[in-house]
Amino acid sequence: MRGFPKFFNTKADVLNSLALYPDETRAYVQMILANRKLWVQTYYTAPGVNDETHYTRTDDAGNTYQMEYIDDPNGDIARLGFTVAELEAIING
């Protein structure tokens, strides 16, 4: 391997990279931690809850949907097998 990897496929890849490229790896970990959530349509509804983790969306046909801000189940954190606490420990040293 030459230089910082472009892709990580396993938890071990990240941990091995941490020993060789600590600053770049911490920046990568911080990026996947910051981008771990996304808006997901949870159900069709009448006007529903609107707060920091929920909002209602109305499409062109007039249908209203409840959206929820959740952790991405297919994101890098889940794919690599980390927990949020493990990533925070890597960032904080």
* Residue 1 domain-assigned (yes or no): no
Query: In whole angstroms, what is the distance from residue 82 CA to residue 8 CA?
Result: 12
Say what the pLDDT of residue 32 is.
93
**Is residue 15 within 8 Å of residue 82, measured between CB atoms?**
no
pTM listed for this prediction: 0.74
Q: Where are the alpha helices (DSSP H) in the chain?
A: 11-20, 22-34, 76-80, 84-92
Q: Provide the pLDDT for residue 30.
A: 94
Would 3 be classed as within a structural domain? no
Which residue do the tokens 């981008």 mark?
A: 35
pLDDT at position 47, please? 67
pLDDT digits over 35-89, tens only? 999 888 877 766 677 778 888 888 888 888 888 888 888 889 989 999 999 999 9
Q: Please tell me the total count of domains within the chain.
A: 2
Which residues constitute the domain of residue 80? 10-36+74-93
